[in-house]
Structure 1
Amino acid sequence: MSALSGLREVIVEAQTRLLEAAVSAGAPRFIPSDFAIDFTTLPPGSNRNLDLRREFKERVDRAPIAATSIMNGAFADMLTGVAPIILFKRRRILYWQDADQRMDFTTKDDVAAYTAAAALDPSTPRILRIAGDQVSARELAALMTDITGERFRLFRAGGLGLLGVLIKVARTVAPQPDEIYPPWQGMQYMYNMYSGLGAFRSLDNGRYPELRWTNARDVLTRH
């Protein structure tokens, strides 16, 4: 089971060494560090970090070992201010293009519990998709209004075309190729999420019925 994070030397090269070691040791299965939105549905070149996971997936699929990837959307702590989605001080929910586009969020603890269950499962499919919650910007505005008692409004930053231009400008002005999450990379994730291309069409949450899921209300209420 890999939980590595990094750029090509980590996601592709270091994980390849782990994969080879797993094969040599006779391990029955390998779980790569694919904890993200669904990069299998994204066009190549739309997200540098996820392109690296796609490249490593090709190596895993050629290896003589069973593999299971667990995709969980975005980590739910993005909702608490890590990403510019909920602007708490301004009481706004920022979104791009479509306020009704749902996005997948899962807490790290829920991902860990599910991954542990999958690791002990003798037969799992190649990909498992999970989400603690699927919420849109409009739903987040209503949720935050209900939790805080103060009205949260929607704030449309622009369309996806504008966001795409801003990504190109940011990458040109401040490329930061050795950083895992330079500003333009975070913007690529926003583009993928608000376009709906990285969203899950179905979920495997019910595979382990003993698990309990933390939804967006739980996360934001605690925050």
Structure 2
Amino acid sequence: MSITVGIAGLTGKFAQCVVKKLHACHNVTIKGFCRNPQKLPQLAMEKYKIEVIQGEFDDEQAIQNFVGGTDIVICCYFGNTDVMTRGQKILIDACVKEGVPRYLPSDFAVDYTNIPTGELFPKESAQIIKDYLVEKKLAGVHVLVGGLMETFWSEFFQIFDSNTQTLIFWGTGNEKWDLTTYETAAAYVAALAVDKNASGVFRFRGDVKSVFDIKEIYEKVYESPLHLKRLGSLEELYSTVKERFEKDPNNIMAWAPDCFVYWCTNGVASLGDDLDNKKYPRIVPANMESFLKTHKRADIAVADRYIGF
């Protein structure tokens, strides 16, 4: 049975990973939506046979044309609050109008369903959109994967210095990180997209490791030391984040990365042990050791730049 999958935010790295995973499935047609199709390699468009609809995130007519005829819409937006909240509501409204039965929002993070209302969290849009899907009676397919491994080592989290091979941390160092690669997360998203019965909240994980665990794996794989530097307690981290937010809430990069670190490590928003990996046994998730083994030491800090087509 054929299925048509719509992907909003097609020029994003994660969206392109999902396209590659969907292409490996049988009888899948892909429609894409983005602001600037010129950013997409022509060879990739021909290879994956994607029908691309161009438009801004708030172009209601273009979005209605995009979602029309799809069986599920996957949102891969990554942007400001307006894009992530109003933009997704426009997508959802179009799905309701066109009779699209399922919507997979841009979650792809820690288990925000456990974060108390009112707590500072960079992806508050995920909580808002989850409620909006319930309000609109549209089946949501929510994918929670913890932190993305490529992002963990990148400049975004600001915790790894590739020049000095130093990993900084808050807390005791024994706190566990839920970590999943882009490719593994995309594989699960593709599996959910073609599984027409899939709806609700799904938790997938590639690995769960503490800073001390990661140090041991790093040194085993690269035969080179990974230095650790403690900055303070988790309580001090949260206080620092709140101070930065209150000083300049619109300066996202001043407070959001450390806020993500806080929710990745404090245990409240962990994925837990009742994971959904087993529902799709053909997918073999990459763990931290396999991730490091497939990247040169000098490249792990920029691994996120080479994802996609």
Amino acid at match of 1:8: T
Tell me what 1:166 maps to.
240
Does 2:158 match 1:57?
no
> Could you say which residue in structure 2 is the equivalent of 1:191?
262
- Alignment correspondent of 1:147: 221
Partner-residue secondary structure (3-state), 2:75:
coil
**Pairs within 5 Å for 1:30-179:** 30-82=103-155, 83-173=157-247, 175=248, 177=250
Instruction: State the match for 1:14 in structure 2.
Output: 87
> Secondary structure of the residue that 2:228 maps to in structure 1?
strand
For residue 210 of structure 1, what is the aligned residue in structure 2? Answer: 282
Query: Matched residues in 2 for 1:108 and 1:148: separation?
Result: 22
Deviation at 1:90, TM superposition (A): 3.0
After TM superposition, give the deviation of residue 208 of structure 1 in Å: 1.1
1:73 & 1:125 partners in 2: Cα distance?
19
Of the structure 1 ranges 16-25 and 47-56, higher mean CA displacement relative to structure 2 is found in: 47-56
In 2, Cα distance between equivalents of 1:182 and 1:81? 14
How far apart, in 2, do the equivalents of 1:119 and 1:13 lie?
A: 23
Larger RCO, structures 1/2 (Cα 8 Å, 6+ apart): 1
Kindly, what percent of the aligned residue pairs are identical? 24
Q: Distance in 2 between matches of 1:186 and 1:46?
A: 15
Instruction: Give the Cα–Cα distance (whole angstroms) in 2 for the partners of residues 188 and 84 of structure 1.
Output: 12
Letter in 2 for 1:94: I
- Give deviations 1:173-219, integer Å, cap 9, x for gaps: 4x261x5x412111111111121111111211121111121111122
Alignment counterpart, residue 291 of structure 2, candidates 216, 219, 222: 219
Alpha-carbon RMSD across the aligned residues, in angstroms, is: 1.8
Q: Distance in 2 between matches of 1:104 and 1:207?
A: 19
- Write 1 or 2 for the structure with the bigger share of strand: 2
Matched to 1:207, the amino acid is K
For 1:27 and 1:100, how far apart are their aligned partners in 2? 44
Give 1 or 2 for the bigger CA radius of gyration: 2
TM superposition shift of 1:14: 1.1
The CA deviation at 1:154 is: 3.2
> Is the 8 Å Cα contact of residues 47 and 189 (structure 1) preserved in structure 2?
no
Q: Taking structure 1 as reference, are residues 163 and 109 closer, same or farther at Cα in structure 2, changes over 3 Å only?
A: same
Alignment check: 8 A CA contact 1:7 1:49 kept: no
Contact 2:140/2:200 (8 A) holds in 1: yes
* Aligned equivalents of 1:89, 1:203: Cα separation in 2: 36
Q: Is the 8 A contact 1:81 1:87 kept in 2?
A: no
Distance in 2 of aligned mates of 1:34 and 1:79: 17
Q: Is the 8 A contact 1:92 1:141 kept in 2?
A: no
Moved more, 90-99 or 193-202: 90-99
List gaps (5 residues or longer) in structure 1: none
Residue 103 of structure 1 and its aligned partner are, at CA, apart by 0.9
Q: Per the alignment, do residues 169 and 66 of structure 1 end up closer, same or farther by CA in structure 2, a change over 3 Å counting?
A: closer
Runs of 4+ in structure 1 off by over 6 angstroms are none
Q: 1-side partners of 2:220 and 2:119: how far apart?
A: 35
Residues 204, 277 of structure 2: 8 Å contact kept: yes
